[in-house]
Amino acid sequence: MKTVKGDLLAMAKAGEFDIIVQGCNCHNVMGSGIARQIRDQFPDAWLADQETLPGDRNKLGRYTIGMGGRLVIINAYTQYNTAKYQGQDVFEYNSFENILENLAIRFGKYRIGLPMIGMGLAGGDPARIMPMLEKFAEQMAEAGGTATLVEFGQ
């Protein structure tokens, strides 16, 4: 998997990706982290989230789709809540794995950008998440697409 430092949203706006994927909780807020930036910069992604039932656990392992011009924004439901304290892990690993499998099948030929999904506000374990992302990147490459992990920074 390709990993770069940068600003995922700026890179997406510059045309480096066809699709970006963000991890969401199930409460329809998008109030902090990259979710807040996406809500502000790509309101259609927020509207797609608003069309779902707030607090619905059945969203786990699924996603909604919003558009930002030609950019597709995937709201991936990877956790029920946001962690309440540092070190709390609320990331739903099986849900994330299901989402990645579905994305690889549906969007395998595209250029996908991801933030450090699950490893921030969800408190997910990078040692468990990174192998999932590596497998996803391999599936994308087999289909002719790419997956790039963007770590925020210069």
Q: Which pTM was predicted?
A: 0.95
Domain interval for residue 102: 2-152
Confidence of residue 120 (pLDDT cuts 50, 70, 90): confident
Count of structural domains, the chain:
1
Residue 153 pLDDT:
82
Which own/partner pairs from 136-140 qualify as long-range (CB within 8 Å, at least 24 positions apart)? Answer: 136/1, 136/100, 136/103, 136/104, 137/1, 137/2, 139/100, 139/101, 139/104, 139/108, 140/104, 140/108, 140/112
Give percent of the chain above pLDDT 70.
Answer: 99
Residue 52 pLDDT:
97
In CATH, what number is assigned to the domain containing residue 86?
A: 3.40.220.10
